[in-house]
Homo-oligomer: A and B are copies of this chain.
Amino acid sequence: MQDFETPLAGVAAADQMTLRRSNLAVVLRALRDGGPRSRARLASDLGLNKATVSSLVAELAERGLVREGGVERGGIGRPGLTVELDGQSVCGVGAEINVNHVATVALDLTGEVVSERRESLDTVRLETAEVLDHLAELVALTFDDVAARGARPVAVTVGIAGLVDGSRSVLTLGPNLGWHDVPVATMLRDRLGGPPYPIVIDNEANLAAIAEAVPGDLARRDMLVIFGEVGVGGGIIADGHLLRGRLGYAGEFGHMIVDPQGRRCGCGRIGCWETLIGLRALLDAATDIDDPVRDPALGLEERLVEINRRASLGDARTLTALAQVGGWVGVGAAALANALNPGVIVLSGYFAVVGEWMREALETRLHEGVLAPQAGGTRVEFSTLGFTAAVRGGATVALETVFNDPTRVERRAAAPTGGSR
């Protein structure tokens, strides 16, 4: 009977530690998602006692993660000093291996860009090891940028187009790179001399999706991101979290069969969505085979500038092609919207550049195709992140290590400044 006789036993030390760590994370995320606030407002917003909040804020400040901000007015009682995220101490690093380039970005805790680097590279022709050499060099330069600011990296996330086995940090299949079973994270770690922070890899389109999830935007808590270049992929944000599926392969929208009587895809199947909405489908519909816009020497961005120019001049063939592709984007988006009822569909990659010319056809087919009234409340938006979405998403994921557990950043000497209320 002994155990039933001690119902008032206190919460033990180990549990207190877990609670404390979890509460530190709650406060840090609240400042990220809802902006700077006084301790009093943090306490009432989070349902925590004010003394607890003050203690948590003090510890976060010791770890260099928050600092005093401006004066808060308009609340109840006398004005208080706000607390805000401190961008000075740590950075998350995102990296990317793409068909045409390697790239990195470092974001501080507030999401500000601290470093952004890109190197054009014909990754398909190079050996895998050589590509990793280039990437490691770029990451090392990014670390220099971070160090020059007095900050340090907390983690690196590498985005790659292809099937990623996250549990082993291995690229299972990168069809456009021609890579199979490449242990990308290990290879990068070796080249960087075995740094003490996590290096993980993730699917590029998944990272692009994460980059779109604006903290605090409710509609974007249930979001579908469709990312198109030559290939088409994307990511699903469900209730604020990336949906990865059983083995991390979720988001391969490009190979949904949308038109079973359609064209053969690079993957061998007939009628994949990619064959209808990938960049090649647009070029095929908008241009003849000898059109200068198809010149292999042209970069993706230059091609899109030219297509935008023709559309602006009212070129009928270009406009018809954009509407046709937009319609097919709408058909597939409707299928996904019936399944997922997202608050927002974000079109990223090349869609973000020429998408306004697609919007009417796209929205028409979307609304026709969704059973729920008004397309279930789904809005269509175009990404504003350009082709940096994947590296930004990688840096965001890297920063999550701190937002999930602020104690990963060591305490430093007591902050020289600070105040109360």
Residues of chain A having any CB pair with chain B under 8 Å? 1-16, 18-20, 23, 39, 47-49, 51-52, 54-55, 57-59, 61-62, 163, 172-173, 219, 221-222, 236, 238-239, 241, 243-253, 255-261, 267, 269, 331, 334-336, 338-343, 368-373, 376-378, 414-415, 418-421
Contacts and interface: CB of A to CB of B under 8 A. Distances in A.
Given A54-B9, A339-B256, A339-B339, A372 B249 contact: yes
A267 B18 CA distance: 52
A134 B316 CA distance: 61
A334 B255 CA distance: 9
A331 B260 contact: yes
Nearest to A220: B246
A69 to B, nearest CB: 14
30 contacts: A2-B421, A4-B415, A4-B418, A7-B55, A8-B55, A9-B55, A10-B51, A11-B19, A11-B20, A12-B52, A14-B48, A221-B246, A222-B245, A222-B246, A245-B376, A247-B341, A249-B341, A250-B340, A252-B338, A253-B338, A253-B339, A255-B369, A256-B335, A256-B339, A257-B334, A257-B335, A258-B260, A258-B335, A259-B260, A269-B369
Contacts of A244: 341
A334 B249 CA distance: 13
A399 B255 CA distance: 39
A178 B386 CA distance: 46
A16 B16 CA distance: 10
Nearest to A62: B7
Contacts of A236: 339-340
A256 B338 contact: yes
Given A339-B252, A420-B2, A373 B51 contact: no
Contacts of A219: 246
Nearest to A14: B49
Contacts of A5: 58
A15 to B, nearest CB: 6
The CB with the most chain B CB atoms within 10 A, among A7, A255, A338, A378, is that of A338
A145 to B, nearest CB: 31
A260 B335 CA distance: 12
B51 A12 contact: yes
A222 B371 CA distance: 24
Contacts of A255: 338, 369-371
A245 B49 contact: no
Contacts of A12: 48-49, 51-52
Contacts of A20: 11
Contacts of A414: 4
Given A1-B419, A54-B4, A49 B13 contact: yes
A223 to B, nearest CB: 9
